[in-house]
Amino acid sequence: MPYITTEVEIDVDLGEFDTKDLLDELESRGELPERSEPYSSKELVEQIWMRRRNSQNYDAPLDQLIWQVLGKIV
């Protein structure tokens, strides 16, 4: 039996989808970063701000924030 493919264009407005549905789809594709970090993004920004203000090294919390937000390692 021959294999037949069909190409279709569909206009989609992401605003029509529920946020939970979008997150579920990303998770099913393995594209959602794990959220097992001990600090929220706001807490990390506050740590970075305080360390920077006190002229301390803030590389570690900055790297962790980048991982949380982008899911990528520097």
Per-residue pLDDT of 10-65, as tens digits, reads 998 888 888 888 888 888 888 776 655 567 888 889 999 999 999 999 999 999 88
How far is the C-alpha of 19 from the C-alpha of 13, rounded, in Å?
13
Region of residue 23 (phi > 0: left; psi between -120 and 50: alpha; otherwise: beta) = alpha
Residue whose pair of structure tokens reads 């190409």 in the numeric block: 7
Query: What is the model's pLDDT at position 36?
Result: 57
Residue 43 lies in a domain: yes
pLDDT over 80 (residue 4): yes
Residue 19 lies in a domain: yes
Q: Number of folded domains in the chain? A: 1
- Structure-token pair, residue 49: 């701000």
| DSSP-based three-state secondary structure for 36 | coil
Residue 24 lies in a domain: yes
How far is the C-alpha of 56 from the C-alpha of 73, rounded, in Å?
22
Residue 7 lies in a domain: no
Query: What is the model's pLDDT at position 67?
Result: 85
Residue 8 lies in a domain: no
- What is the residue range of 60's domain? 14-70
